[in-house]
Structure 1
Amino acid sequence: MNSTTETAAPAPTAARKGRRNPQPAAKAKAPQRQRKVHPVLERLFELYPKLFGPRFLPLKLGVYQELLALHPDDFKKEDLKIAMGLHARSTRYLEAVASGAQRHDLNGEPVEAVAPEHVHHAILEVFKRRHARTGEDVRPALRARLMEAIEASGLSREDYMLVVRTQDEASNAVLDEAFAELGERTAKREALQRAFAASGRTVAEFAEMYGMDPAEVSRTLGRA
């Protein structure tokens, strides 16, 4: 039947009107509340967009005192202290520290390395928050990231353990796993280096002999 000639559905009777709809209409989603930015952080963004803008950078030690000295009319001590604490505990800032990037002055210039223990604890916190947010198993990625941090620190196992070890057994267990895997990797690199030195062949010939990628062999020999 043509849709233009179809009769309209009959009006509901009084009995029908009194029935409840078994499929209640979906509730409208409540509008998401925007997170309010601390006014001091907004002012810091205006003054130093390179540091407090879209991309965060690790800040030099003592920057709080420097900001107070440079902007006595802009910031009260307690307000600045609270705002800087919020900034330093933010996930974005922790990710910047965990990356191993250098600390920067107020001009946005790199001035000093982040201490290995600061990088280490930032990595732990970033992955802890990721797990809480997503529920995913972050242990393998955390272990790999710790291995990178250990190698970048240039410290021996004993010295690294001395500055980063905490009372948290779970964190220490992952750290032990990272050192164990790093030890295995280092042993393989050294074995490859000895085999290459004894072979008397070029990198390309050596790689072909063992069915390996020449570029990977070069990288491994370089690290060893």
Structure 2
Amino acid sequence: MSSNTADTDTASSPQPAAPKTTKGAPAARAPRHAAKAPQQHQPARQRKTHPVLERLFELYPRLFGARFLPLKLGVFEDLLTLHPDDFKREDLKIALGLHARSTRYLEAVAAGKQRHDLNGEPVEPVAPEHVHHAILEVFRRRQARTNEDLRPQLRARLVEAIDASGLSREDYMLIVRSNDETANAVLDEAFAELGARNAKREALRRAFEASGRSVAEFAEMYGMDPAEVKRTLARAKPPSGTSDPA
């Protein structure tokens, strides 16, 4: 008898009475949405963090926490030496690879932040080519998520990266040029924009030197911000032997 419990409960349940209708009036219809079962939203799947990365966060929250910092070259061997019981070589290699390919880490590299050791101390600059390729990869990922043309933003970031590198066009192109025609086209645009910017800086420097005035006087004469004038003069390339503007 117990095997028929479900059938019995269903059969003995009171059935709803049919709605009364007035002669000539159409029978009431059930709401359209009543026939559809309510949709249940499935919770988004969360990627499980690699256990080695969780351990790295516990040991070095300044490097693997909410904010990422570029890691010094050779940090893999440092970790193996300092924590032989915590990490297996292959597991650590995989985890650090995941970390270095994450967008958050690439953004830190693209920003030109210094590389840091395990104590969280800056020890060396990130190579210009690493900054460049991180910028390209970050923008590729962003562009894939939007219909907005991010090319102008990419060009502006490349202008800043080239300027910060201190390299000539020839030297910079030598280390970053690739077979990606789109990336190379944006790079050419960035160099053209930087060339125009440097020409303006040089024109300002020449005008300043010809004026024989102080930075404050020169800025007031042309209605410019003295701090901005000084920054521009400092970033212009003065002839050798020229003193820093006061």
Name the counterpart of 1:138. 150
Distance 2:51 2:20 in 1: 60
**AA in 2 matched with 1:211:** G
The equivalent position to 2:225 in structure 1, one of 210, 213, 219, is 213
Structure 1 residue 22 displacement after superposition: 8.4
Name the counterpart of 1:179. 191
Distance 1:23 1:222 in 2: 73
Structure 1 residue 133 displacement after superposition: 2.0
Change (3 A) 1:13 1:156: farther
1:26-105 paired onto structure 2 within 5 Å: 27-105=39-117
Richer in helix (by share): 1
Q: Deviations over 1:44-69 (max 9, x none)?
A: 11111111111111111111122222
Change (3 A) 1:74 1:188: same
State the identity as a percent.
Answer: 78
Unaligned runs of 5+ in 2: 1-17, 22-26, 237-246
Give the 3-state SS of the residue equivalent to 2:123 in structure 1: strand
Change (3 A) 1:20 1:62: same
Of 199-208 and 108-117, deviating more is: 199-208
**Aligned residue pairs, count:** 215
Alignment RMSD, CA only? 2.4
TM-score (norm 1): 0.86
**AA in 2 matched with 1:104:** H
1:203 lines up with 2:222 in the alignment: no
With CA pairs under 8 Å and 6+ residues apart, which has the higher RCO, 1 or 2? 1
Change (3 A) 1:17 1:189: same
TM-score (norm 2): 0.79
Distance 1:23 1:135 in 2: 38
Name the counterpart of 1:153. 165
Distance 2:218 2:30 in 1: 86
Distance 2:35 2:184 in 1: 53
Name the counterpart of 1:191. 203
Distance 1:20 1:203 in 2: 76
Name the counterpart of 1:122. 134
Structure 1 residue 213 displacement after superposition: 3.0
**AA in 2 matched with 1:171:** A
- Which structure has the greater CA radius of gyration? 2
Structure 1 residue 166 displacement after superposition: 0.7
Give the 3-state SS of the residue equivalent to 1:173 in structure 2: helix
Q: Deviations over 1:3-59 (max 9, x none)?
A: xxxxxxxx8569546674389576332212222101111011111111111111111
